[in-house]
Amino acid sequence: MAAPAFDEAKPVEVRGLVKRYGRLIAVDGVDLTVERGDVYGFLGPNGAGKTTTLRMLLGLIRRDGGSIRLFGRDPADPLHALAGVAGFIEEPRLYPYLSGRANLQLLAALDRGRAGRAQVDEVLELVELRERAGDRVSQYSQGMRQRLGLASCLIRRPSLLLLDEPANGVDPGGIRFLRALLRRLSDEGMTILLSSHLLAEVQEVCNRVAVINNGRVVKEGALADLVAAGGHAYRLQATNLPSAADALRPLEGVQELRREDDELVFTLGSGDDTVEVTRALAAAGVGISALVREQATLEDLFFRLTGAAAPAGDREAVAA
Amino acid sequence: MSTTAIADRPIETRSGSLPDTLGAVGATYYWELRKLIAQKRTWLGLAAAAIVELVFLASIEISKVTPNDGPYADPMGQGLRHSGLALTPVVLKEVAYFGPAIIAALVSGDIVANEDGAGTLKTILVRSVRRGELLAAKALALFTYVIAALLVFAITGVVAGTIAWGFHPLANITGTRISAAHALALTFAAIAVYAVPTIAIACFGLLLSVVTRQSVAGVVGTIFYALALTGLAALPAIKSARPYVLVTQLHAWHGVFETPTGWALIWHAVWVSALYAVPPLVAAWLVFRRRDVVS
């Protein structure tokens, strides 16, 4: 069957994707659509099904149901599936006993030798590893291996990049580098699908996201729309936080009420609800030291959708 | 990497034609060899192949064995101390059963499992090479390693033996005297015949490497496989079936040193070895092409 023309096909179209391991359903009817030029964040807690989904996209594991199309091609087609596609799962694994340059030459050869020395040098330059290209990979730091992994993807000259936790084990400088590189590649027209635990980073570089939990996509769309729909978070400093919590809990517009250190944090669906908040606090005899409005973040959205626990010590549930 | 380089880039696909497939196998084979060369265990195997000859030579030199005992009792053993060319055939006979198993196991049991364990399998399987092509290249690299190890064994024996005892004619297994040059050529012909069942053992190791996904299981399992076949061949109850046991073929190289040449023995070894080699290769391919790579 002839594949659809490259120009007409979406980079990623996944419908009803299913993967089972015995009784466990790791991926349960996932739908994803990544448009050309997207930097698409794929988010979820550990074990949600992100990596399994990406493995199926890259043809490393077989699906039990549903369909996958990468530029209109099925990854089950061993010959054409990954044309124009590159990526890595969990972390790039390269040959420690070969040099960085030899690793790239090897992988380029497996791409049927289309990359010459100049192209190897070009991607090494891009990931700032040209000076260490002759060293064995066993001598590389984790961050350098991560960058070499990116180079191994770029040497393929992909139009779609699939990255699973690309910032894993990377120091802050490496994360900044990665962020800049992804932006640059996106600006150059590359479509990128990445999974990450670093929500702030995803918010920085992605224009669209999908949140997966228990094998299902629970939210998908433009990042700006999702965050805006999440309402606003409020931080309240008051004379008596337990009484303040008791006063706010019955209010209909107040959601996700929790205590963080010496503040109460909650979201309001509408800005008008602040009037109700102040009235309730006054009625309870609670003095307001500060009530600050903040835009909800991707992190807020993530915790709301996945029900994942907030980092220990960071958030303290308000006793009901 | 310019903007147009990505946005307007046509997607390159492979044709899947025979030349395309052969090209993919060839390129992958080259890099499989490069990987083998870069790994210590490869050199360990080659060194072991050389050392066994040197140890045997040294033991002959310092031993008190009388000219009619031990290795001297072998027809070609009569040439020991008289011609360096006798060393390799005699050592080959002594190590015939366990030598190839160890040499083959060291790499065959590890060649896929190692990549699985290290996670590099998932790196190479997302490139433009098909799983069958990758496995074919690995099998070819494995066979190359086996042949290289046997060549190291033979060359070390010839060189060390010649230095110790000279480059002289000797009697073959049937007692016919052959020239030194002829004996040298027959030595490498014998190695070629010996390589056939050794490669068949390696094929089983490759299957274990694919199925177990663990290097230790692959290596140890291959050695046990060879030892089990050796034990099987020794059972009196299967005496009539012994010619069809794989390890029996490890002695087919004797045909090279017979006068006239024992072609029947050699061809028998070739087809019996093929019977043992092909099923594991097919099974390895069937498993490898469909299995999930989750490491």
Are A159 and B11 a contacting pair at CB < 8 A? yes
The pLDDT confidence band at residue B80, using thresholds 50, 70 and 90, is confident
Q: Determine how β-strand A160-164 pairs with β-strand A85-88.
A: parallel
Whether B202 shows a pLDDT value over 70: the answer reads yes
With CA atoms as reference, the chain B residue closest to A136 would be B38
Whether B5 shows a pLDDT value over 60: the answer reads no
pLDDT tens digits along B25-44: 999 999 999 999 999 889 98
Q: Does A75 touch chain B (CB under 8 A)?
A: no
Are B126 and A6 a contacting pair at CB < 8 A? no
Q: Can you give the pTM of this predicted structure?
A: 0.84
For residue A201, the model assigns a pLDDT of 81
Residue type, B223: I
- What whole-number distance in Å separates Cα of residue B279 and Cα of residue B206? 11
pLDDT tens digits along B257-293: 999 999 999 999 999 999 999 999 999 999 999 888 8
Are A93 and B13 a contacting pair at CB < 8 A? no
pLDDT tens digits along B248-261: 999 999 999 999 99
For residue A294, the model assigns a pLDDT of 79
The pLDDT confidence band at residue B69, using thresholds 50, 70 and 90, is low
Instruction: Output phi, psi for A28, to 5 deg.
Output: -125, 80
* Ranges under pLDDT 50 in chain A: 1, 309-320
Q: Which residues pair with A292 in a beta bridge?
A: A235
Are B1 and A109 a contacting pair at CB < 8 A? no
Q: Which residues are CB-contacts of B129 (< 8 A; sequence separation ≥ 6)?
A: A110, A112, B24, B27, B28
The pLDDT confidence band at residue B10, using thresholds 50, 70 and 90, is low
For residue A148, the model assigns a pLDDT of 94
How far does chain A reach from its first CA to its final CA, in angstroms?
A: 60
For residue B182, the model assigns a pLDDT of 96
Are B9 and A190 a contacting pair at CB < 8 A? no
- What whole-number distance in Å separates Cα of residue A182 and Cα of residue A162? 12
Q: Determine how β-strand A39-43 pairs with β-strand A208-213.
A: parallel
Question: Which residues does B contribute to its contact with A (CB < 8 Å)?
Answer: 1-14, 16, 20, 23-24, 27-28, 30-31, 34-35, 38-39, 118-120, 122-131, 290, 292-294
Q: Which residues are CB-contacts of A223 (< 8 A; sequence separation ≥ 6)?
A: A41, A203, A206, A207, A208, A209, A298
User: Tell me, what's the ipTM?
Assistant: 0.85
Helix (H, G, I), strand (E, B) or coil at A267: strand
pLDDT tens digits along B117-143: 999 999 999 988 899 999 999 999 999
Whether B98 shows a pLDDT value over 90: the answer reads no
For residue A156, the model assigns a pLDDT of 87
Classify the C-alpha dihedral A176-A182-A187-A188 as positive or negative: positive
Helix B131-165 / helix B40-62 crossing angle, nearest 10 deg: 20
Whether B8 shows a pLDDT value over 60: the answer reads no
Tokens 């602040």 belong to residue: A274
Closest CA to B13 of B128, B127, B126: B128
- What whole-number distance in Å separates Cα of residue A306 and Cα of residue B226? 54
For residue A28, the model assigns a pLDDT of 94
**Tally: H helices and E strands in chain B:** 11, 2
For residue B7, the model assigns a pLDDT of 45
- E strand or H helix at B271: helix B263-290
Whether B2 shows a pLDDT value over 70: the answer reads no
- What whole-number distance in Å separates Cα of residue B56 and Cα of residue B81? 12
